[in-house]
């Protein structure tokens, strides 16, 4: 298994979890969303975009041209997540580590 497939799998798992938590409106996700000062409807939009990225990563197994588009979408979402943590919610840097890791993996897929 090569590093591209490993990156895809990691992102698929992480974003399925993230989108599921947003769609389910888990207590922790709602609390964070309020700290970010975003409207609740934007949580559904974000979860839908994450799911679209996951679908793109999975479909890229058969349609390789989708890999860069899906990775770009997820990288942009993670830039938004880091912005929300640092500037909107004023969280400590440790709160954005997951977003940073997902950004790095998505960016690595973009550069392949």
Nearest to 26 by CA among 13, 38, 17: 17
* pLDDT tens for each residue of the chain, 112 residues long: 699 999 999 999 999 999 999 999 999 999 999 999 999 999 999 999 999 999 999 999 999 999 999 999 999 999 999 999 999 999 999 999 999 999 999 999 999 8
Question: Which residue shows structure tokens 């390789």?
Answer: 64
Within 8 A by CB and 6+ apart from 10, the residues are 105
pLDDT tens figures, 5-23: 999 999 999 999 999 999 9
> What DSSP designation does 89 have?
S
Q: How far apart are CA 112 and CA 110, in angstroms?
A: 6
Strand (E) positions, the chain?
none
pTM for the predicted model, two decimal places: 0.94
Average pLDDT over the chain reads 96
Beta carbons of 73 and 104 less than 8 angstroms apart: no
pLDDT of residue 1: 64
- CA 82 remoteness from chain centre: 10
């Amino acid at each position: 298994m090569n590093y591209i497939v490993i990156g895809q799998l990691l992102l698929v798992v992480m974003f399925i979890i993230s989108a599921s938590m947003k769609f389910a409106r888990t207590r922790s996700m709602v609390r964070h969303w309020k700290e970010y000062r975003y409207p609740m409807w934007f949580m559904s939009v974000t979860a839908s975009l994450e799911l679209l990225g996951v679908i793109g990563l999975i479909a890229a197994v058969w349609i390789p041209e989708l890999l860069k588009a899906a990775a770009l979408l997820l990288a942009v979402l993670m830039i938004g997540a880091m912005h929300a943590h640092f500037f909107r919610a004023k969280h400590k840097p440790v709160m954005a580590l997951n977003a940073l890791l997902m950004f790095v993996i998505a960016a690595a897929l973009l550069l392949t």
